Amino acid sequence: MADLLRIIGLWRGRLPWLLAGVVVSLLALASGVGLMAVAGATLASLALFAPLVLRLLGTARVVLRYAERMVTHTAMFRALADLRVWLFRRLAANSAGGLGFRQAGDVLSRLVNDVEALDGVYLRILVPLAGALLLLPVAVIAIARSGHGWGAPALAAVIGVLFILAAFVLPWIAARSAMDAGTSLAAAMGQLRIAVLDTMTGWREVRAFGAEGRMLAAVQAREASLLNAQHTLAGRTALAGAGTLLCAQAALFAVLCAAGTEQTGSLGTAIIAAFLVLAAFEVIGGLPRAGAYLGHAAAAAHRVLEAADAPVPVPDPAVPAAPPSSARLEFDAVSFQWRPELPKVFDGLTMDIAPGTRVGVLGPSGSGKSTLAALALKVAAAQTGRVLLGRVDIATLAAADVRARIGWLSQTTHLFDDTIRNNLLLARPDADDAALWGALDAARIGESVRALPDGLDTWVGEGGARFSGGQGRRLALARALLSPAPILILDEPCAGLDAETERAFLATMNEVAEGRTVILIAHRLIGVEKLDRIYRLSGGRAVAAAG
């Protein structure tokens, strides 16, 4: 429950909306109860102006119920939107280098499904609970004063006990009993999303290796787990709902029994009491089912906070040092491994990259080429040794200051499903159109963009799908060039391109990166690169291959 309370605390920015939803809900509740009471009085022929009152209360109930739906759902949508933004920022803060060892499907499930599951905390639990707390004393007092000689106080006590049982005790019992089922449901939903996303993103490889059957079996197994968890939770919910129904029927039976022991003159007040009981138990009818649902919400809250509270791999120092003026990048006896159980990637790595030089870093897969970029960008931290920027240990610098001085173009650089303009502005949000066109021209794609009907406002499609591989890579290069960073790391920038496109891209790089430090990370060289020095990674160290 502590996780749920913390989530509710994160909604404090939407407190006016949330309170407004509760107030409108209580007004709708009052109109509904009043309508039932007047209807009972009309049936008992005790109300002189019942038709007019019924019309007014009926109209008010319809209007207030509509307003309740609008206000409560608006409040919840805004609160969930704030929660998603908060979670995204926390994920972004500790995922600067990508998802790392996380699975994309699991992160997506927490950001979408788990956050969405929390809407019921307000709509299904908090709002109805507020109504129950208001209705309990009103109903008990009204029934206690509704009769004279037919045991109204005793009847009110019985109704009160049944009401408390249905509104508070049964929801608590349902929540406790369904906690494990809710946890299983949240986990099963995440596992299913992981399986489906892995299958779809790797579909070409799945088809190439004839693994469709195995992947489908994995998806179906996780789907079966999800259905089993849903079935268990549905069973607990049904039992909770049955408990509420039994309480409501027992309350009505008590009213009828009390009325049956009295004279005919008490029939009118008995009818009113019966209608009040119906109205009261209608309001709280969903609370035990919501209690069973609470286990799922609690598990979802725990998963959301678990993702948000993941430690930042390389936290900033409490008092960052002043950013250096020099662009010299050094690796001083660096040792690093991603996890204690994994082998070391670097063991005494030493490199000195002077400002304005062009350096090639070669090595096979797994030799640490991308890890080198991660260390330079302060995405990962060395276990021993130092990474220096301008003779200053980057451990003493703010990550934002480091990344402002080091641009990065990777083999998996992503183009978002947005306009060319907005994709470029990621590198420099204050850039004007002249700067954008300058970067596009430098990357040798300016003319192609000018030929498009919408120019800079052309949508690139998901992952740059509306452009060829070479064009997409040039758009990513333009974005990197737009950054004023004096150091540019190119991590396999031509991966997936054909030989001709690769040569043209590297030839462009030779021309447009003048004056910057360029670190080209690659498996091999093709002969068109202009480099001042080449290092080869081997055995966790950098061996100078040329100078």
The pTM for the full model equals: 0.71
What mean pLDDT comes out for the span 29-39?
78
Residues 6+ apart with CB under 8 A from 39: 54, 275
Sequence-ordered list of residues with C-beta below 8 angstroms from that of 9, at least 6 positions apart, any chain: none
Q: How high is the pLDDT of residue 263? A: 45
Q: What is the pLDDT of residues 471-485, one digit of tens each?
A: 887 888 888 888 888
- Contacts of range 36-39, beta carbons closer than 8 Å, 24 or more positions apart: 36/275, 36/276, 36/278, 36/279, 37/142, 37/272, 37/275, 37/276, 37/279, 39/275
For residue 531, give Cα distances in angstroms to 17, 406, 420, 495: 61, 18, 31, 19
Look at the domain 2-308 and name its fold.
ABC transporter transmembrane region fold (1.20.1560)
- Given this model, what pLDDT does residue 422 score? 92
Calpha distance 442→448 (Å, rounded) = 12
pLDDT(72) > 70: yes
Q: What is the pLDDT of residues 375-422, one digit of tens each?
A: 888 888 888 999 999 899 999 998 888 888 888 887 776 788 889 999
Give residue 70's pLDDT.
Answer: 92
Pair 508, 481: CB distance under 8 Å: no
User: Are the C-beta atoms of 482 and 436 separated by less than 8 Å?
Assistant: yes
End-to-end CA distance of the chain: 63
**418-467 pLDDT per residue, tens:** 899 999 998 888 888 898 998 888 888 888 889 988 889 998 887 777 88
Please give the pLDDT value at position 265: 43
Mean per-residue pLDDT of the chain: 81
Q: What's the pLDDT band for 539 if we cut at 50, 70, 90? A: confident
DSSP string, 233-268: HHHHHHHHHHHHHHHHHHHHHHHHHHHHTS-GGGHH
- What percent of the chain has a predicted confidence (pLDDT) above 70? 90
CATH of domain 329-546: 3.40.50.300
CB atoms within 10 A of CB 499: 9
Give the helix/strand (H/E) hosting 230.
helix 212-260
* Cα–Cα distance, 248 to 20 (Å, whole number): 29
pLDDT at 150: 47
Mean of pLDDT values over 136-144: 77
What confidence score (pLDDT) does residue 264 get?
39
Residue 74 banded pLDDT, cuts 50, 70, 90:
very high
**Pairing, β 533-538 against β 358-362:** parallel
Number of CB atoms found within 10 A of residue 414's CB: 13
257-273 tens-digit pLDDT: 776 665 434 566 667 77
CATH 3.40.50.300 boundaries in the chain? 329-546
The pLDDT-based confidence of 96 (bands split at 50, 70, 90) is low
